[in-house]
Amino acid sequence: MGRKGLVHIYTGDGKGKTTAAIGLGVRACGDNMKVLMVQFLKSRDTCELHSLKKLEPEFTVLRGFSCKKFVWNMTEEEMEEARKEATEIFLNVKNLVLQNKYDLVILDELIGVLTNGFIKEDDVIAMIKDKPQETELVLTGRNAGKRLIEAADYVSDIKAVKHPYQEGISARKGIEF
Amino acid sequence: MGRKGLVHIYTGDGKGKTTAAIGLGVRACGDNMKVLMVQFLKSRDTCELHSLKKLEPEFTVLRGFSCKKFVWNMTEEEMEEARKEATEIFLNVKNLVLQNKYDLVILDELIGVLTNGFIKEDDVIAMIKDKPQETELVLTGRNAGKRLIEAADYVSDIKAVKHPYQEGISARKGIEF
């Protein structure tokens, strides 16, 4: 019998959700696990991509989100476009998960995609229930809902006790992206 | 004028402190920053070391802790030995920081070392105050104290809302270590 894969959630308003998921992926691929990270809602270049390239093919990053705006700046038309893209990416990923192609799958910002109403919570819960037994799943994003928390095995709520945004320092290259 | 390096703390009882620090290091070295991670209180092989080797020389990991027991299982003599080792490692690291050899320095479990009384909080605060302006510092470990929190710019408190330990599932290779 194979190993039992569990479900992780990194949520909350603090810094460290995406990086904790990346660090977990780095650890897992050091154990010869095949890791896939899918980044939702992200399109601009981020520094981690350059390092993670060096861990290919054990660590694969998938993107496909073309919109460069934050949700709160989108027109209704752009929202509709983003919704279509998010749904498409989610369906692709769901297929990869069900086909058992990866040992650990990180769905970065999937919870944000949910919260924006771009995809349905029911579909995510169904994916968790239908996943191959041995697959380890990691979801990140603020405001994980009750049902998602129930469906997960690990839930880490990362609280921003202090963040330099509060002091007016904006996102820095190499640190925030 | 160089960039201003800030101080990060990942604390709390939840999963994700070490991995968030590793993920941050991976991101930073993707921006050509020189990263050093020092692991205190850890001596057994962990899977992340195998992946991080592929990021050398941009990402360097330093260990030097020989004791293989957890603190609560140590005899008084082993405690004294661990204290000596932790002090020595800390002094070495402090010198590396002051010599400005790295852009980002992760002191993994330094807060645990503090809490165990192996090194003094005063010495850590002094290192934070004396560090080169551009150095980014990251500290991890449960129970960060008030003074440490005051001295930091980012503080993320990672709360274990759910952890499979609670269900009797023990640490798994590739996931917890």
A147 in contact with B at a CB cutoff of 8 Å? no
| Angstrom distance (rounded) from CA A171 to CA A61 | 22
Q: Are A7 and A140 in contact (CB under 8 A)?
A: no
Instruction: Report the percentage of chain B scoring pLDDT > 70.
Output: 98
Query: What is the phi/psi pair of residue B104, to 5°?
Result: -135, 125
A21 in contact with B at a CB cutoff of 8 Å? yes
Which residues in chain A touch residue B139, judged by CB atoms under 8 angstroms apart?
A: none
Q: Give the class (CATH, top level) of A7-167.
A: alpha beta
Query: What is the phi/psi pair of residue B42, to 5°?
Result: -120, 130
Angle, in degrees to the nearest 10, between helices A17-29 and B17-29: 90
Residue A166: pLDDT band (50, 70, 90) is confident
B42 in contact with A at a CB cutoff of 8 Å? no
pLDDT at A64: 76
> What is the average pLDDT value for chain A, to the nearest integer?
93
pLDDT in tens, A30-43: 999 999 999 988 77
Per domain, the residue ranges of chain A are 7-167
- 8 Å CB contact of B14 and A174: no
Q: Is it the case that residue B1 has pLDDT exceeding 70?
A: no
Average pLDDT (B43-54) is 92
Which residues are within 8 A (CB) of A124 and not within 5 positions of it... i.e. 6 or more apart? A110, A114, A139, A148
**Secondary structure element (H or E) that encloses residue A115, with its range:** helix A110-115
pLDDT in tens, B58-69: 999 998 777 677
B68 in contact with A at a CB cutoff of 8 Å? no
pLDDT in tens, A61-112: 998 777 677 777 888 898 888 889 899 999 999 999 999 999 999 999 999 9
Q: Is it the case that residue A148 has pLDDT exceeding 80?
A: yes
Least confident of A3-17, B64-78, B95-109: B64-78
Q: Of the candidates A51, A161, A167, which has its C-beta nearest B156's C-beta?
A: A161
pLDDT in tens, B7-30: 999 999 999 999 999 999 999 999
Token pair belonging to A90: 């989610």
pLDDT at A2: 67
Q: Is it the case that residue A1 has pLDDT exceeding 60?
A: no
- 8 Å CB contact of B23 and A23: yes
- 8 Å CB contact of B160 and A155: yes
SS3 A155: strand
> What is the average pLDDT value for chain B, to the nearest integer?
93
pLDDT at B74: 85
Q: Are A153 and A8 in contact (CB under 8 A)?
A: yes
Residue A9: pLDDT band (50, 70, 90) is very high
A81-140 residues touching B, CB cutoff 8 A: 136
Q: Name which of B19, B102, B139, B177 to mutate to probe chain A: the one with the most chain A Cβ atoms within 10 A of its Cβ.
A: B19
- 8 Å CB contact of A15 and B6: no
pLDDT at B2: 67
Q: Are A97 and A137 in contact (CB under 8 A)?
A: yes
Instruction: Report the percentage of chain A scoring pLDDT > 90.
Output: 77
Nearest residue to B159 via CA among A12, A9, A156, A20 = A156
Residue A45: pLDDT band (50, 70, 90) is confident
- 8 Å CB contact of B161 and A156: yes
- Catalogue the E-assigned strands of A48-153: 59-62, 104-108, 136-140
Candidate CATH numbers 3.50.50.60, 3.40.50.300, 2.40.10.120, 2.60.130.10; the one for domain B7-161 = 3.40.50.300
pLDDT in tens, B86-127: 999 999 999 999 999 999 999 999 999 999 899 999 999 999
pLDDT at B125: 97
Within 10 Å of residue A79's Cβ, how many Cβ atoms? 16
- The 3-class SS string of chain B reads CCCCCCEEEEECCCCCHHHHHHHHHHHHHCCCCCEEEEECCCCCCCHHHHHHHHHCCCEEEECCCCCCCCHHHCCHHHHHHHHHHHHHHHHHHHHHHHCCCCCEEEEECHHHHHHCCCCCHHHHHHHHHHCCCCCEEEEECCCCCHHHHHHCCEEEEEEEEECHHHHCCCCCCCCCC
